[in-house]
Chains A and B, each alone.
Chain A
């Protein structure tokens, strides 16, 4: 017998949303202040050693976060079209198309395209995904006289690292050779930043930066664990802002403030056993980059379907250890797409058990192929080992035109009907 989910009163955490807006403003303010002081502008990628931007006080721009921002405000289509007109393929990385499009069609780019801050240098990273390297090369060509530092990390196999906790990115082990391989590059990068900024490394300042980062990162991990509570305390429409903190600005004072306050609010909700809706009917796991432009999560949460476990959001969190700053930076490369799929799936199974989910919704990101590779394998394991059914929905993260919403809702509705 088919049941229908009734629309309930939806309870997002407006205070957290307000705090995030303030955090974002603080970040923009910092960038403009640094620029005014004549500090260099650096473009950084997810999974790269972003703490160093704070150690050397450079204005840190994050093209991926910017493009997610554009997509969430439904301003990405013209940027994507500009890149396609420039002969980038329709199915290349959404972040690449939006980033390049924001340079090619800066008039259509919100916030003047990356806050109007052209890069003085690009931190070209192969610590997470090869696409970052390709994009760095493109930026360096589009903006002439841009310096580029290339940093690499191994692709982490299970033999190398054993079990990995993909929330903290703590591996079971790591060899001296691999540590040395990355740490030597980190020292070179710091010398490069000394050259760019004209300032010597201040070890005391570095220590303070990593202390902030550690506190922020621990707060994020605690929030991720609180999300597993019953009922799910926070909406994904609030939680989707957290990757911007975890990936890029954990070392900022304003990020620490945001996570401290958010943690307090969420703890209070958990204590009162208050959820994002009054009656939680189903708990689902979510995987894949969020289709930023869509309100799918809200649509389902309003109907009592909550998402205590979002693997994509968790992939952006790390445990940073102030006592081991360089090792912590190395671990920024331990993202699911830079590790053996088996190691990732093991970790997901552990989290899915803790979250006690009824099913999983996986977004197959047409605009990010690497993140979509493991979905079918994960679907199979969740079913075989835990009896958790899954649905895979095509969803480019930045281009709503390639994702007819009705079609996605149809698939997801059918899936949810089968769970009731």
Chain B
């Protein structure tokens, strides 16, 4: 039996195809496309691409679950169910790391910390408020202001000892601070290190509210930023488990849930 989970986020639309046989579940294919203004097109594109990669037809898919901000579009276009991304991230993380007791997901538009019980059920969670300070958008904005590729930010953080002090309360204020620091001649590396530190503080705050102390998975595109992960580990005092493809954890969880429907 094949199932597909589609996670429509603010920046990317992700799909994961699973095959279930007896007690085993195999990941067959996945794909990621940018989320478009017309979310419907992105959903159909990622669905078609995943089907093609998996080498199966639409009719062979028995379960579909949509999640994320545009998860309802999945339901409208392809049928199936809608499940919140909190539940999907929890399920996806638990599949990859059966002992995990917490998930930190840092996406393009929001970040969340999720606490799980022994059985992997969500027992508590927190999301960032509307400000972009604790989200991937923060890093995008800052990489533009500093004229550094977003992929390089993490490495620069790891190599820099001194960090500029930057507020973690608001992305717009932080941008103003960065411009001010540049004009004061603060080295770019120190500003980057300060920004990542501020970003990690913001996300660590969420994790602390729900009480994540160990066995924590980090998901979302920002988990590929090695500097951010290091900074966050240091603030939480624990090692974070980083999946090979952290951006598809929500879609993976959705696909697992769709096997049950």
Contact = CB atoms under 8 A, between A and B. Distances in A.
Q: Is A bound to B?
A: yes
B87 A414 contact: yes
The residue among B84, B124, B260 with the most chain A CB atoms within 10 A of its own CB is: B84
Interface of A: 1-2, 4, 389, 394, 402, 404, 406-407, 410-411, 413-415, 417-418
Contacts of A411: 86, 127
Contact of B69 (A1, A389, A402, A406): A406
A117 to B, nearest CB: 37
B130 A2 contact: no
A359 to B, nearest CB: 11
Given A2-B257, A2-B260, A417 B83 contact: yes
User: Which secondary structure characterizes the binding site on chain A?
Assistant: helix
B22 interface: no
A414 B130 contact: no
B61 to A, nearest CB: 18
A389 B114 CA distance: 14
Interface string B55-88: 0000000000000010000000000010111110
A4 B130 contact: no
Nearest to B114: A414
B214 interface: no
B10 to A, nearest CB: 11
A404 B84 contact: no
Contacts of A406: 69
Contacts of A1: 257, 260
Contacts of A413: 84
Interface string B77-108: 00001011111000100000000000000000
B256 to A, nearest CB: 10
Contact of B125 (A394, A402, A407, A414): A414
B129 A394 contact: yes
B69 A2 contact: no
Contacts of A415: 125
Given A2-B257, A406-B69, A414 B85 contact: yes
Contacts of B84: 410, 413-414, 417
A389 B124 contact: yes
Given A410-B69, A418-B122, A2 B87 contact: yes
A404 B10 CA distance: 14
A105 B62 CA distance: 57
Contacts of B123: 389, 418
Contacts of A414: 84-87, 122, 125
Contact of B121 (A394, A402, A410, A418): A418
The residue among B81, B123, B124, B257 with the most chain A CB atoms within 10 A of its own CB is: B124
A44 to B, nearest CB: 34
Contacts of B121: 418
A418 B130 contact: no
A403 to B, nearest CB: 9
Interface string B127-148: 1011000000000000000000
A417 B87 contact: yes
A407 B125 CA distance: 14
Contacts of A407: 130
A259 to B, nearest CB: 39
B130 A394 contact: yes
Contacts of B127: 411
